Amino acid sequence: MSKMNFDDFFKNEARMFMLATIRIALSEDGPDLTSQGLFEPSDIARAQIITKQKTVVAGMPLIPLILEFGDQDKKCEVFINVDDGETVDEGALLAVMEGPAALLLKAERIILNYISHLSGIATLTSQYVKALEGSKTTLLDTRKTLPGLRYPEKYAVLMGGAQNHRLNLVEMLMLKDNHIDRAGSITNAVQKLRETYDDCPPIEVECRNQQEVVEAVKTEVNRIMLDNMTPAEAAEAIKIIPDSIETEISGNVTLDTISNLAKIGADFISVGGITHSAKSSDISMRIFQI
């Protein structure tokens, strides 16, 4: 599957949220009094972004956006050497920037925070994707993302080669235990949703046991999640779900277990850890005054 283009992903609502996080990041830092006190507005510097480890890169198009927000009256030239989704070796030169020294210094940490975090997600995701090679199963993320960073983190997942589960609570309706308990049954919950929404979004049901799977199948929902089942339980459940209903395995999936879980034959395996537990990639910026 080809990886999505940055501008194709960050449009409309996604772009609005992404730009808002940049504004907040810059506002959190406030003015860089140290750099302003030591550099003249005419002082020009060159910056290089270099990775200190092998990594899958994500977030490079954010660099010019951050610099533009930093000071719209002062422009920096930005030369990006790698594409998002590309795997680079330790020591790779990712980008070069040239512009006012104070502007580059103010933007340095914010740029590195974004790129390091997103590249870490893309790198960990790619490891899970590799573990699924040869199977029919596709890796999905979850909504276990940092508040405000939902879209950048899910974009990084795409750069790592996986797919997004759902970006928000509108794209797919998911029935969990609280919803099912409230409605009295899976059947009642599905019926209520379909009656409530004329153009009902796809429905997924979290099933905790075999009996719930059987009931969910009868409602002909779009997807059934096998939640925290043992491999043996999931394998038995898969047998009774028709091909017309997508299947997803979720819960306590690790790099050590995902290959064996893929043998069960589910359409998807979702892993929250690729966003909430990814270690940031080691990326640095070197700034030289010209």
Mean pLDDT of 112-127: 98
Verify that 152 and 269 share a domain, yes or no: yes
Verify that 70 and 98 share a domain, yes or no: yes
**pLDDT per residue as tens digits for the range 152-177:** 999 999 999 999 999 999 999 999 99
Q: What is the pLDDT of residue 289?
A: 82
Verify that 110 and 136 share a domain, yes or no: no
Q: Domain count of the chain?
A: 2
Query: Is 106 known to be catalytic?
Result: no
Q: How confident is the model at residue 2 (pLDDT cuts 50, 70, 90)?
A: low
Which of the two residues, 3 and 275, has the higher pLDDT score?
A: 275
Query: Is 223 known to be catalytic?
Result: no
Structure tokens at 181: 């308990």
Mean pLDDT of 226-247: 96
Verify that 90 and 196 share a domain, yes or no: no
**pLDDT per residue as tens digits for the range 186-223:** 999 999 999 999 999 999 999 999 999 999 999 999 99
In a domain, 77, yes or no: yes
Q: Inform me whether the pLDDT recorded for 12 exceeds 80.
A: yes
In a domain, 225, yes or no: yes
Beta bridge partners of 51: 283
Catalytic-labelled residue, pool 15, 75, 176, 208: 176
Query: Is 166 known to be catalytic?
Result: no
Residue 244's CATH number: 3.20.20.70
Verify that 136 and 100 share a domain, yes or no: no
Verify that 170 and 230 share a domain, yes or no: yes
In a domain, 217, yes or no: yes
Verify that 285 and 164 share a domain, yes or no: no
What pTM was estimated for this model as a whole?
A: 0.95
Verify that 285 and 252 share a domain, yes or no: no
**pLDDT per residue as tens digits for the range 57-105:** 999 999 999 999 866 667 899 999 999 999 999 999 999 999 999 999 9
Structure tokens at 2: 């080809």
- Residue 177: which domain range? 130-276
Query: Is 109 known to be catalytic?
Result: yes
Catalytic-labelled residue, pool 153, 227, 248, 267: 227
In a domain, 18, yes or no: yes
Catalytic-labelled residue, pool 52, 109, 182, 286: 109
Mean pLDDT of 124-144: 97
Mean pLDDT of 126-136: 97
Residue 17's CATH number: 3.90.1170.20
In a domain, 21, yes or no: yes
**pLDDT per residue as tens digits for the range 24-66:** 999 999 999 999 999 998 999 999 999 999 999 999 999 999 9
Quote the CA–CA distance of 116 and 58 in Å, as a whole number: 8
Catalytic-labelled residue, pool 3, 15, 144, 194: 144
Query: Is 204 known to be catalytic?
Result: yes
Q: Are 205 and 211 in contact (CB under 8 A)?
A: no
Q: What is the pLDDT of residue 3?
A: 72
In a domain, 1, yes or no: no
Catalytic-labelled residue, pool 204, 206, 248, 267: 204
